[in-house]
Amino acid sequence: MKLQRKSGLRALAVGAVAVSGALMLTACGSDDNSGTDTAGDSSKAPTSSSSIKCADKGGQLLASGSSAQQNAMDAWVRNYMQACNGAQINYKASSSGEGIIDFNNGTDGFAGSDSPLKPEEVEASKKVCTDGTGISIPMVGGPIAIGYNVSGVDNLVLDAPTLAKIFDSKITKWDDAAIKKLNPDAKLPSTKIQTFHRQDESGTTDNLTKYFNGAAKDAWPYEHAKAWAGKGGQSAAKSSGVAAQVKQVNGSIGYFELSYATANSIKTVKVDTGASAPVEATADNASAGIAQAKVVGTGADLALDMSAAYVTKADNAYPIVLVTYEIACDKGNKAETLPLVKSFLGYTASEEGQSILSEAGYAPLPAEIATKVRSAVAALA
């Protein structure tokens, strides 16, 4: 999940290392988090703020799940623990599925997930949410960048059908007529296109293919899924692996959270959405894309329908986006952890908490959605 400088990513890495002993964070799961591998100057790391409203009592809060949001969690946990003496937040980055299992087994105070709860997961949550149910609270947004490496091409525009055909090996040369039409002024070589996709099951893949399903259904004949279904291409492990291959191989193209493109100085595709100008993958543009989404959850649940984002023609709205959620009980949270859950998630949803997302390679929630999120967190019981 940006337009941040490389030093910003490095700074967050140091922040993560500084608290790694207390957090016991792991780096495995369906989405990669190795953007924190780039250590560097910690002077840019976010600092704690007295505006954080700490829980009356400290204690320990366990959480786990989506590693797509780990860089954001690293920064949030660091800031919160610096501001709130006696509080220990332990977020284990594993995978969305594992986080939900842990939550529904009563292990965690909340879970991170790159998709809202499925009906069967909601039903299972009732066993641990006394007189309540698990709800999906959007918290972290971000653009999925399409990174490319083509010698002599510094500005590349593609649209959804062309991207889908490239990733399904239906377009195989960089000077294909469809690419030329979108880039009339570019000197496109006849180089063979080498696509790279995720080897592991990934929420990033799932969200990219949701975009293809929504914006290029005729060109992408597969259902969206965490496992790659397109024909041809080469696989690489996690977003870091895909980014490394794109950086090294001339003629290549791949997809990953924007932070990987920024950290590796990889050029990214501008997407022709039908807006007045092609849209670049940036935090602000991703937030504008997410703003097209609709809340479809009922009651306190804030699950989002992203389909309008995929086909938006709004200016400066980037359409290839993902949203990760925090899963919590609307009612029936454990009494010993509820104050800390509400305090911590209250901080992450606050203007201050959301403001640091751009530094970590993500997109802040649009104002309308953020307001609903803050209300949902405040109402947890």
The answer to whether 2 and 262 have CB atoms below 8 angstroms apart is yes
pLDDT in the model for residue 337: 96
Q: What CA–CA distance (Å, rounded) separates 56 from 128?
A: 24
The answer to whether 7 and 44 have CB atoms below 8 angstroms apart is yes
| DSSP character string of 220-284 | --S---SS---SS-EEESHHHHHHHHHHHSTTEEEEEEHHHHHHTT-EEPEEE-SSSS-B---HH
Q: What CA–CA distance (Å, rounded) separates 355 from 353?
A: 5
CB atoms inside a 10 Å sphere around CB 51? 10
- The type of residue at 161 is P
| DSSP character string of 76-124 | HHHHHHHHSTTEEEEEEE--HHHHHHHHHTT--SEEEESSPPPHHHHHH
pLDDT tens digits for 307-344? Answer: 999 999 999 999 999 999 999 999 999 999 999 999 99
Mean pLDDT per 10-residue interval, the chain, length 381 residues: 36 35 33 37 39 92 91 94 96 90 96 93 96 97 96 98 98 98 97 96 90 98 95 94 97 94 95 98 96 95 97 98 96 96 98 92 93 98 97
Q: With helix as H, strand as E and coil as C, how does 271-305 read? A: EECCCCCCECCCHHHHHHHHCCCEECCCCCCCCEE
pLDDT in the model for residue 127: 96
- Planar angle of CA 270, 201, 293, nearest 5 degrees: 50
Question: What contacts 176, CB < 8 A, 6 or more positions away?
Answer: none
pLDDT tens digits for 101-155? Answer: 999 999 999 999 988 999 999 999 999 999 999 999 999 999 999 999 999 999 9
Q: Which residues are registered as beta bridge partners of 236?
A: 198
pLDDT in the model for residue 203: 82
- Burial class from Cβ neighbours inside 10 Å (0-12, 13-18, 19+) for residue 13 reads buried
Task: Work out whether strand 270-272 and strand 304-305 pair parallel, antiparallel, or are unpaired.
Answer: unpaired
CB atoms inside a 10 Å sphere around CB 249? 14
